[in-house]
Amino acid sequence: MSSSEEIDLLNRKLSRENKARLEAEQLLEEKSAALYEANQALTAVNSGQQEYLTVLSDFALAITTIKSIDELAWYVVREVVGRLGFSDCVFYLYDASTKSIIQCAAIADKNPEGQKILNPLSISLGQGITGSVAASRRPEIVNDVSTDPRYVPDITPGGSEVCVPMLHDGILIGVIDCESPEKNFFSEQHLTALETVASYASAKVAERQAHDRATARTKDLEQKIVQLTKLKEELEAAKEKAEESSALKSRFVATISHEIRTPLSGILGSLDLLQDEEMPTKAGTLVEMARNSGQTLQALLNDVIDFARSEAGMLQIEPSAFSIIELVSSIQSFWLPHAKARNVALDIDVKDDIAKNYWGDPARIRQIINNYFSNALKYAKSARLILSVENVAMAGGDGTQVQFSIIDFGPGISAEDQEQLFSEFTRVGAHKRQIGDGAGLGLAICRQMAELMDGSVGVDSQPGSGSRFWLRLPIQSVLEQVDDRPATTRSLDSFRERLGARPRILVAEDVPTNQTIIRMTLEAFDCRVTIVNNGIEAVEATLNHDFDLIFMDIAMPEMDGMAATSRIHKLLGKEKAPPIYALTAHGMDTDREEFEAAGMVGIVTKPFDRQDLYTAIEQCLLHEKTGKEDTNIQGMYEFDEHSMLDRDMLMALLDPLDTDSRSMLLNQCIADLSSCLQLITDGFHQKDTKKVADATHKLKSVSGTFGLVQLQHLSGTASELGKQGVDAECLATAEVIVDRLPVGIEALRLLVDAPPVGEV
């Protein structure tokens, strides 16, 4: 190849290389420009993302200091959404009561002044784009709202819209809605950022709503507390007023009863003494009439007082073992003369299934039956009356109860009158206006006393067929021996003849008439009587003379009977002071604790009768005698282990139980009884009457529950003697308990492993 050819070849090769180099340089410039543009775009994106993160971070910090929902709404639309670059934003809250979302904060056209929303809208769920998002609870981007039929123009038409719901635990809180005049303005990045804002905002709204509800409830509770406090104060004021009224009524009854009893005591006492004198027949008849009238007045007064006691919750039941035969026989003996005077036969019908002895309050039972008899003799006009005692089924057939009935064969009582009979201040039929019928309280008091004994009263009658007035009591039979001989009126023999000495009695009484009556009554018993006018004179007389007994009036001038009694015991000592009986006309003094606290041993109520005074003197003198002599209290309680336990009462308690429950219950009882035995034994040997009284009080409850009715009676007696300060008899009774209680414990121990009825 020639040199020219080689040069030409080299030139062509160089030209190709230059062209390739130029093409490569051009391509590099194009790539560099594209890379620059891409880098610029990436920088812009990163800057926007960083701005979003900054806004959201600031929102997360600011939200902790926001105090109200309104403040939150405005912060979202201004400081959050506004900084994200959205030109238009509305914050809606959901109203469950109207099922709609309501505008509460906005920027741009809805808030030109930056302070409040112009024409805030209330949008129902499902209405428009915003309502649809609220109903579906799903976010949406609408690139061209003009093509969406749901769009509802507000102030100015929009181009595009993004809307997200605010949800908390799946519950709709509200909606955040943003619009732009440009179509296709909102991206997924905008949606993500707005959803984050909505999430923060919904949690805060839910928290503030819960706080607001709690605050409202707190205020409501505070108002209710204020109302309840006011109501409580009003109720306490009403209660105090009622108690004051009740106390005033009680004081009124006590005062009136005292004022009536005082002259009545003088009247009846004088008439009693006159009946002991020889008088012309006519004078004797007048005295008897006056005495009967006085007794009627006394009965009326007692009814009023008993009713007042019952209304004040002061009536008390004092249960003990008693004989049905003795009770009905003594009632018959009392009423037989009255029945004969009216040519009325009085019969007793005690059914064969009635047990010999029962546990109950014979005094209250007697009072109810006496009221029935009194009414029957007044109103029935029957030639025959029957006192019937029988067992009858309880309501529902669950066991039996004892029914006492007074049956007459008179004109009977209408159904209308029967409904009113046991109401207070009620008299029915032809007897509504008869003189001497009382205040119409007798049967009302019978009802109240029966209810106190967990019983009931009633009447069965038809006009023309007579009447049956009944008392039903759920009393239980007991094994305790009770003297069933009919009670007889005791002979009030001279104490000089009975004891060979004349008792010396001090009477503190400020009413001259009563002084005369009680002096004459006591002197008839061969007592030596000293009369003083008040408590001061009573204390002075007691310090200067030896008395066997003091009858102490309660209401006296200078110093009352309670204060005088306390003063005597303080100066002489309780053991050396003579026994003191309260001599009172206060009808409301049913609670003996007040007198016992002052050291008195008993009560004689005005108008007093000779039997009451005689019995009080007799008890004190015999107690003094037994305190000096070694009497055998054991002889008063003769019984063996076979009569120790009332098995029927115990089995009623144990039969429903299984073996384990029976054993557990009996073992606990045995442990309690053993503890009582130890305490009573210690108290007896230490001559500590208080310890004996406390231990026997507990023993009374335990022994009675488990059928040891005789030990219940003994412990009740010892406890009462101990409370009254009758130390010698209390300790003597404790000695009997210490001797007999182990027998009772052993009787229960034998039952511990015995299977219940029906088990093998």
Tokens 């009675």, residue located = 704
Judge if the upstream peptide bond of residue 463 is cis by omega within 30 degrees of 0.
Answer: no
Q: Can you tell me the distance from the alpha carbon of 553 to that of 614, in angstroms, rounded to the nearest whole number?
A: 17
Average pLDDT over residues 718-735: 84
- Locate the DSSP E strands across 636-696: none
Angle at the Cα of 506 (from 503 to 510), degrees rounded to 5? 150
Check residues 272 and 200 and name the one with the higher pLDDT.
200
Query: Which tokens belong to 465?
Result: 């067929």
How crowded is residue 367: how many other Cβ atoms within 10 Å of its Cβ?
A: 16
**With left for phi above 0 and alpha for psi between -120 and 50, is residue 429 left, alpha or beta?**
left
Full DSSP string of 76-107? IIIIITTTTT-SEEEEEEEETTTTEEEEEEEE
| Percent of the chain clearing pLDDT 70 (strictly above) | 77
CB 696 within 8 A of CB 737: yes
Q: What is the pLDDT of residues 438-459, one digit of tens each?
A: 445 678 888 888 888 899 988 9
Looking at residue 523, its amino acid is E
Check residues 269 and 406 and name the one with the higher pLDDT.
406
Kindly tell me if the per-residue pLDDT of 466 is higher than 70: yes
Tokens 């006496």, residue located = 370
| Model-wide pTM > 0.85 | no
Give which of 584, 729, 693, 596 is closest to 257, Cα–Cα.
Answer: 584
Kindly tell me if the per-residue pLDDT of 43 is higher than 70: no
Q: What is the pLDDT of residues 589-645, one digit of tens each?
A: 455 667 777 888 888 877 777 778 888 888 887 665 544 443 344 433 444 333 467
Supply φ then ψ for residue 455, to 5 degrees. Answer: -115, -165
| Burial label, 127 (beta-carbon count in 10 A; 0-12, 13-18, 19+) | middle
pLDDT for 484 equals: 46
Q: Can you tell me the distance from the alpha carbon of 236 to that of 176, in angstroms, rounded to the nearest whole number?
A: 56
Q: Can you tell me the distance from the alpha carbon of 67 to that of 415, in angstroms, rounded to the nearest whole number?
A: 75
Q: Can you tell me the distance from the alpha carbon of 503 to that of 495, in angstroms, rounded to the nearest whole number?
A: 7
pLDDT for 19 equals: 72
Average pLDDT, the chain: 78
Q: Which of 406-410, 426-430, 620-624, 700-704 has the highest mean pLDDT?
A: 406-410
Q: Can you tell me the distance from the alpha carbon of 86 to that of 78, in angstroms, rounded to the nearest whole number?
A: 10
Q: Where are the alpha helices (DSSP H) in 276-432?
A: 281-311, 324-341, 362-375, 415-420
Full DSSP string of 574-606? TTTSPPEEEEE--TT---THHHHHTT--EEEES
pLDDT for 507 equals: 94
